[in-house]
Amino acid sequence: MTIERNPTRAVRIGTITIGDHNPIAVQSMTATKTQDTDATIEQAEAIRKRGAGVVRIAVDSDKDAAALAVIRDGTTANLAVDLQENFRLAEKVAPYVDKIRYNPGHLYHHQRDKPWQDKVRFIIDQAAQHDCAIRIGVNCGSVDPAKKEKYDPSDSITPMLQSALEHCEFVDSLGFDRYVVSLKDSDPKHVVEVNRRFAQARPDVPLHLGVTEAGMPPEGIIKTRIAFEQLIGKGIGDTVRVSLTLPNPRKPEEIDAGQSIIDDIYAGRVRSVVNFNEGGLNIISCPSCSRVENEAFVELAADVKVMTEYAKQYDITIAVMGCRVNGPGETDDADLGLWCGPAKVNLKRGPEPLGAFGYDEILDQLRMELDKLIQQKTASANS
């Protein structure tokens, strides 16, 4: 199958170059605790050996940043880090990584009186000094609040797009062009639309593709495949990740899934005529990573999938999130949301908190709320 790739510029990330018609790179993220350097090195190497072009590591603290020096010495993987809320960590991680990802929506959490432009300028300065690429990563659940306020609440796509375009324009003004952009949503249709619109507006900027919180296999792979087929098939996309909820030893399977989808698309084996889960139960769960505060989250996500089988015909979304970073905001749009802490699981109905429950209690609580929701939907349909 001949695919005419978008004419993006080349961006080097360590030993690989993406964009400018280079092969699409597949990446994944370690799920070990970053400060457990032996385990993180072992997993980074396992992911690299499976074929990853980039391996991402979560850094949430000064101790995590300090661990990177050891990790860097222990793996030849091209390393990326996610700054999360603390933009100042860029100074501490840049000497040891090949790419830094920042989220425009997270720039408001520290030093709130400082303009976001100053924070981005600091990140870019560190990247330039230490030979790092940048990813501007926009997520549906953590969009720049100033952008969300300008648009209808039902329009989740335009705020993401405008945030990405604004940051590209600002980074361009700093004379830095070694960056890529990602625009992720848990709905494949939204991923397709927002990336198509961005690629039309900025065909020069390489795109990293992914469906955030895709969930468990096989559903998570199917959701991702639907988005990738429609984007890569049109020449859009330069790096990819299949974000799956998996136990730690199985994280390299994300690389297998991503490469398999790419190979299928180029071989003409596409299935994007399929509508995934239209009008039925939709369970989204974030990919297991080192930010997960209790590894029981992965088992809980699987248990939720089994327990809710009886509700599969209902148009209901349940989100299961593994940490405090993504949990609170990225469960707001679900009918029922669970975000997992070290000892308790926070249960929500839309944006409304319903309480925190032990891991041994949460399934019963979830079933009660799910039954209430089903009764309301049934009554509404019959009225």
Binding site residues for [4Fe-4S] cluster, as ranges? Answer: 286, 289, 323, 330
Only one residue has tokens 């929500």, namely: 348
Residue whose tokens read 């993180």:
40
Amino acid making up residue 375: Q
Q: What is each CA distance from 383 to 43, 313, 335, 376, in whole angstroms? A: 54, 19, 21, 11
Residue set of the binding site? 286, 289, 323, 330
The greatest distance separating any two alpha carbons of the chain, rounded to the nearest whole angstrom, comes to 65
Q: What crossing angle do the helices spanning 362-382 and 296-307 adopt, rounded to 10°?
A: 30
Q: Which residues have C-beta within 8 Å of that of residue 276, sequence separation ≥ 6?
A: 188, 219, 222, 223, 226
Q: Where are the alpha helices (DSSP H) in the chain?
A: 37-49, 62-74, 90-93, 116-129, 145-148, 157-173, 188-201, 219-232, 253-266, 296-307, 327-330, 362-382
Cβ-based neighbours of 6, under 8 Å, separated by 6 or more:
199, 203, 207, 235, 236
Bridge partners (DSSP) of residue 138 are: 183
Q: How far is it, in rounded angstroms, from Cα 64 to Cα 32?
A: 12
Question: Which region holds residue 337: left if phi is over 0, alpha if psi is between -120 and 50, else beta?
Answer: beta
**What are φ and ψ of residue 87, in 5° steps?**
-65, -25
| Residue labelled with tokens 């990446």 | 27
Identify which of 214, 224, 228 has the alpha carbon closest to the alpha carbon of residue 287.
Answer: 214
CA distance 94 to 72: 11
Residue with tokens 């280079």: 22
Q: Three-state DSSP class for 120? A: helix
Report how far residue 135's alpha carbon sits from residue 82's, in angstroms, rounded to the nearest whole number: 9
